[in-house]
Amino acid sequence: MPDDFERLIRNLFAAYLANDRQQVSDALTDDFRFTSPFDDDLDKATYFERCWRDAGWIARHDIERIFVRGNEAFVTYHCLARDGRSFRNTEFFTFEGGKVRRIEVYFGAARQDDRFLPQSR
């Protein structure tokens, strides 16, 4: 099962990068919930309304680590934007029935030209 969850996560990141909203939607449970520093406990429909946008601004995701235990996983990744900005995030996934039931995102620092970019509070 851990290999299946790791594959699901990698496929989800690839679908996001390909701007394949349908594949992302299919990987999420109907009662999916999403939380980030900007969004608290969004349902699936609201997640797509508020958080989905064209992924063309992303040059690549580099998944640095995935830890799976039972039906939960932590993923840390480095993201490089096309404008040279980059950031590192960690996401906590919960799975149910072979799909993603919940994602909680923890933002890391943004960088550009190898310099720290302060974020507004």
Q: Alpha-carbon distance 2 to 68, whole Å?
A: 6
User: Radius of gyration (Cα) for the chain, nearest Å?
Assistant: 14
pTM of the model: 0.87
- Per-residue pLDDT tens over the stretch 22-75: 999 999 999 999 999 889 999 999 999 988 877 778 899 999 999 999 999 999
**Which residues 6+ apart lie within 8 Å of 86 measured at CB?**
78, 79, 80, 110, 111, 112
Q: Which amino acid is at 10?
A: R
Please, what sign has the CA dihedral across residues 109, 76, 9, 42?
negative
